[in-house]
Copies of this chain bind each other. A is one copy, B any other.
Amino acid sequence: MDTTQRTEQQRSADRRRRELLEAADRVVLRDGPQASMNAIAAEAGITKPILYRHFGDKSGLYAALAKRHTDALLNSLREALDAPADRRERVEATLDTYLAAIEARPQVYRFLMHPAEGGTGTDQGFDVGKHSAPLLRRMGEELAQVIEERLDLGPGSQQLARVWGHGIVGMMHAAGDWWLGERPCTRAQLVKSLADLLWGRLAAAGDKVGGPGF
């Protein structure tokens, strides 16, 4: 009948969509974030217009692609964040989970951080703030929520939690990015150093002696 047919077609469409996303995944994994629509279409064994029929435009495809990985990573992070352990352990586990993920698949990670880079130039005037990777934003909000749920921060806790959420995520991201490029230490050392920073060792450290003679 009518309904069964529609579902038939939709199922087929959904399967196609998944296939296309997987092909795109492979290409991005190989070529990095500047993978072209042509290349993705070729990898999927079809031609460009089909991609556009399914995803609208490039940022549409990228958004769909990003959503999958972002969801997956966020699930891992939630797990680490919700583990039954004390706070320091949970923080370290979360940092380590993130760093392990970006270490395992740098190209994907790189893609997630530099997604669209501006569309056809629609209004390009005051959309500043939207340019940051959605992954960072989502992680920031997620962490903010956990912080606000679990910690007693007194008045203004919600705003404080959000600032901290985005700040901590940014710290993790920048440090991870730098670490991935230079590999100056092991992952465990990096995790410990960052956790130490969050634990206030910066404020607690003493001044160095023998300063500028004063």
Contacts and interface: CB of A to CB of B under 8 A. Distances in A.
A73 interface: no
Contacts of A182: 129
Given A32-B124, A130-B181, A178-B166, A151 B193 contact: no
Number of copies: 2
5 contacts: A110-B128, A128-B181, A160-B196, A163-B193, A167-B171
Main secondary structure of the interface of A (DSSP, over half): helix
Contact of A202 (B180, B184, B198): B198
A171 to B, nearest CB: 4
Contacts of A153: 201, 205
A189 interface: yes
Interface in A143-202: 147, 149-153, 159-160, 162-164, 166-175, 177-182, 184-185, 189-190, 193-194, 196-202
Contact of A150 (B32, B118, B201, B207): B207
Contacts of A162: 178, 184
A31 B208 contact: no
B124 A31 contact: yes
A194 B203 CA distance: 13
Nearest to A106: B128
B178 A132 contact: yes
A131 interface: yes
A23 interface: no
Given A34-B117, A110-B131, A206 B151 contact: yes
A68 interface: no
Nearest to A129: B181
B203 A199 contact: yes
A209 B177 CA distance: 36
Contacts of A173: 170, 174
